[in-house]
Amino acid sequence: MSAQTASSGRETTIVDNEVYNLLSAVTNKLQALSAYSKYLADGSANDQIFEQLKQEDEAAVRRLMNQLDKLAQQGRLKV
């Protein structure tokens, strides 16, 4: 994604900041979910906490995706 500096001195991208933040949060949660799956496959005394974190992050991804869906319905995901 190419960034330009706006006249205000803030970086801008081809998507607005609110959309970018949601996309970034979804990406981070999905990466965490992938890691938890690997940790659970290893099997250890920590499985319970990784399973709990996995469930929490899955719920967070659903909430974030619902918010992105609302923005899409408002036409805010168009480039």
Residue 7 domain-assigned? no
Per the domain annotation, does 3 fall within a domain? Answer: no
Question: What mean pLDDT, rounded, does the chain reach?
Answer: 88
1 is a domain residue = no
pLDDT of 30 higher than 70: yes
Residue 68 covered by a domain: yes
- Number of independent structural domains in the chain: 1
User: pLDDT at position 77, please?
Assistant: 85
Asked if pLDDT for residue 55 goes beyond 90, the answer is yes
Lookup result for tokens 């996995």: 54
Specify whether the CB–CB gap between 42 and 51 falls below 8 A: no
Instruction: Give CA–CA dist 42/37, Å, rounded.
Output: 9
Taking 70 as the threshold, does the pLDDT of residue 7 lie above it? no
What's the pLDDT at 10? 63
Question: What gap in Å lies between CA 75 and CA 73, rounded to an integer?
Answer: 5
What is the value of pTM for the model shown? 0.79
